[in-house]
Structure 1
Amino acid sequence: MGWKEKFISKAGREILIKTVAQAISTYSMSIFKLPNSICDNINSLLAKYWWGQTQAERKLHWINWRKLCMAKKGGGMGFRDLHAFNLAMLAKQAWRLIHENHSLFYRVYKARYFPNCSFMFAELGNNPSFVWRSLLAARDLIREGSRWQVGDGRSIGVFTHRWLTHTPVPLNDAPPDMKVCELIDHDSRQWDRGKIDAMFSPQTRNEIMSLSLNNLNSQDSVCWMETEHKNSPFGQLIR
Structure 2
Amino acid sequence: MANYWWEEVEGKAKVHWIGWKKMTKDKEAVGLGFKDLQMFNKALLAKQVWKLITQPNLLVSKVLKEKYYPKQSLVNCKVPNNASWIWKNISTVRMDVLEGIRRRIGNGRGTRIWEDKWIPNRSDGKPTTDKPHECQLKQVSELITNSRWNIVLIFKTFCP
Do the structures match in fold with TM over 0.5?
yes
Task: Report the Cα distance in structure 2 between the residues aligned to 1:54 and 1:176, rounded to whole angstroms.
Answer: 73
- What's 2:153 paired with? 195
1:125-145 Cα shifts (integer Å, max 9, x gaps): 655513322222221221233
Counterparts of 1:180-219 in structure 2, within 5 Å, are: 180-185=140-145, 188-202=146-160
Task: Report the Cα distance in structure 2 between the residues aligned to 1:149 and 1:128, rounded to whole angstroms.
Answer: 35
- What's 1:43 paired with? none
Deviation at 1:179, TM superposition (A): 2.5
The CA RMSD over aligned residues, in Å, is: 2.7
Determine if contact 2:114/2:131 at 8 Å carries over to the other structure: no
Matched, 1:108 2:63: yes
Q: Percent identity?
A: 33
Counterparts of 1:21-60 in structure 2, within 5 Å, are: 46-50=1-5, 54=9, 56-60=11-15
In structure 1, what residue type is equivalent to 2:153? K
- Between 1 and 2, higher relative CO (CA 8 Å, sep ≥ 6) is seen in 1
In structure 2, what residue type is equivalent to 1:99? T
State the TM-score, normalizing by the size of structure 2. 0.78
- What's 2:116 paired with? 161
- What's 1:123 paired with? 77
The unaligned stretches of length 5 or more in structure 1 are 1-45, 203-239
- What's 1:205 paired with? none
- What's 2:95 paired with? 140
| Aligned length, in residue pairs | 154
Determine if contact 2:6/2:13 at 8 Å carries over to the other structure: no
The unaligned stretches of length 5 or more in structure 2 are none
Deviation at 1:124, TM superposition (A): 0.9
Deviation at 1:53, TM superposition (A): 5.0
State the TM-score, normalizing by the size of structure 1. 0.55
